[in-house]
Amino acid sequence: MSDDPYKVLGVAKTATQDEIKKAYRKLAKTLHPDLHPGDAGKQAEFQAVSAAYDLLGDADKRKRFDAGEIDASGQERPEAQFYHHYAGQNAGRRYDPGGAGGYDDMSDLFSELFGRRGGGGGFRGDFDARGADLRYHVEVEFLEAARGGKRTFTMPDGGRLEISIPAGVQEGQILRLRGKGAPGSGKGPAGDALVTVSVTTHPVFKREGSDIEVELPITVDEAVLGGKVTVPTIWGDVSMRIPKGASSGRRLRLKGKGIKAKAETGDQVVRLRIVLPEKIDPDMEELALRWRKQAGFDPRAELRRRT
């Protein structure tokens, strides 16, 4: 597979960030290791795609790559790293156009530049510099993101990294793992690992802040007579009482059954939806006709008054 992250994702260098994200998601869905257990080739492709997105999915890092400051793995190029170290170390020196840029004489300047050379004439590389931050991307299931947990994922270099998923982590949130980035130079500390989280959608649950929303189908008799029903939550099934005369669209709240984050604990909001059977039997039809004649109920009367 190509080392060019643009080619890995199959996008042009002029692609927008949204186009890059869509390309990654399309490839990740087809190459995910869970779909190809034991297939080392597919796993390698998935790792390459993830590494490419970790680089291009971050606008700042993409800009540095395009400028040639970092390579495809996100590592700072040696010449750029030395420049930043040297420039930062001498940032306090004053430039003197009549002399040697703030040095006492030219010998000081050459001593600074070439005093680091070893016997072979090359730079010894003994300066201390912090390691580069490494960016990764991980996709978590909706329930895992809502409840929190631990996740171990494979990095592009084949190593494994365990991360703690905080309860309530959101789409696009970046988790910082101190000291899990590239090793430093000399006595410099290691950089950090920056993990961008993507959260999958769920067929039943939807999130609204710290609350979880669910649409619950109920029968006509449950709506009319009320009663206890079983409701799914992100923490498991619970029992809930439906009040008599409940209409479709009515919202009921289950306290404390939402996301339990550090800042707050959300609720689960249950929106009722009355569902009729596909086939109406004669008894139900007769009951409805009799009720319509006797009740004279018009649910649209208020609507007409307002228009």
Return all residues near 291 (Cβ < 8 A) that are at least 6 apart. Answer: none
Beta pairing, strands 211-218 & 206-208? antiparallel
Residues of the chain with CATH 2.60.260.20: 132-201, 206-306
pLDDT at 156: 65
Q: Retrieve residue 131's tokens.
A: 């390691």
pLDDT at 97: 44
pLDDT at 246: 95
pLDDT at 100: 46
Residue range 132-201 in CATH 2.60.260.20: yes
pLDDT at 77: 62
CATH fold of the domain at 206-306: HSP40/DNAj peptide-binding domain (2.60.260)
Beta pairing, strands 149-154 & 160-165? antiparallel
CB 131 within 8 A of CB 182: yes
CA-wise closest residue to 137 among 71, 191, 61: 61
pLDDT digits (tens, 9 = 90+) for 80-95: 544 444 444 444 444 4
Q: Where are the beta strands (DSSP E) in 90-237?
A: 134-140, 149-154, 160-165, 174-177, 193-199, 206-208, 211-218, 227-231
Which residue ranges in the chain fall short of pLDDT 50?
A: 79, 81-104, 106, 109-110, 112-125
Q: Which three-class secondary structure state does DSSP give residue 268?
A: strand
pLDDT at 126: 57
* Strand partners for 76: 70
